[in-house]
Amino acid sequence: MTFPKPANTDSISKNIFGLIISRPFWQQNDFWLACIAAILLWLIFKPLNLPLPMPVNIGFSPLSSLFFLFILVFPVLEEIVFRGLIQESLHKLLNSEAKPCLIISHISGANLLTSIFFAISHLWAHSLTWALATLVPSLIFGYFKDQYQSLKPSICLHIFYNVVFYLFLYHWSLTQ
């Protein structure tokens, strides 16, 4: 099974009676399901009472440079490096055009390997548990990169996941 190659790289296109009908990624159901998954993912971690992955004094101002880096700069840079460079290189190396991995439906082997690298890269700042927690979002970002052949959906989702993560941590730090 191969993924459809959209005519417009930001949308899924359908050929209906010779007419190309396309909708941008943000109008697709799978994009909004991925957004809901971000909230559910972090809600699952709350009852586990894991130690916070970052210092408790994360109540930095939304106008601070640290907030700007965490919410905007890091997601863009990580997506360029992991999905744009590593995942694309692995597709070429594995000689696959976003073919699904045998283990997980709709997840390419390149996405799976890239996501493992992504989780490992978080070990410098997080515990093993929190680094592994980045694996699921990374698979989601990689899926959208493969599905839409564009970094835009994965960057938007990564920013959204980081905003939800920040809000989760901020709320969690207030209750501890």
Q: What is the pLDDT of residues 36-73, one digit of tens each?
A: 888 888 777 766 666 665 554 555 555 567 778 888 99
Does residue 95 lie in a domain region? Answer: yes
Our count of domains for the chain comes to 1
The predicted structure's pLDDT at residue 145: 92
Does residue 19 lie in a domain region? Answer: yes
pTM exceeds 0.85 for this model: no
What is the percentage of the chain residues whose pLDDT exceeds 90? Answer: 28
Q: Is-contact 4 30, C-beta < 8 A?
A: no
Would you tell me how many other CB atoms lie within 10 Å of the CB of residue 151?
Answer: 21
For residues 124-150, average pLDDT: 88
Does residue 98 lie in a domain region? Answer: yes
- Computed over every residue of the chain, the mean pLDDT equals 77
The predicted structure's pLDDT at residue 6: 45
Does residue 165 lie in a domain region? Answer: yes
Q: What is the C-alpha separation between 171 and 45, in angstroms, rounded?
A: 13
Does residue 4 lie in a domain region? Answer: no
Does residue 78 lie in a domain region? Answer: yes
The predicted structure's pLDDT at residue 139: 95
Count Cα atoms within 13 angstroms, Cβ side, for 171: 10
| Helix 109-121 vs helix 135-148: crossing angle, to nearest 10 | 140
Does residue 162 lie in a domain region? Answer: yes
Higher pLDDT, 71 or 116: 116
Does residue 160 lie in a domain region? Answer: yes
List of E strands, 26-175 = none
Helix, strand, coil: what percent of the chain each, to 5? 65, 10, 30
Give the domain range for residue 96. 11-44+62-175
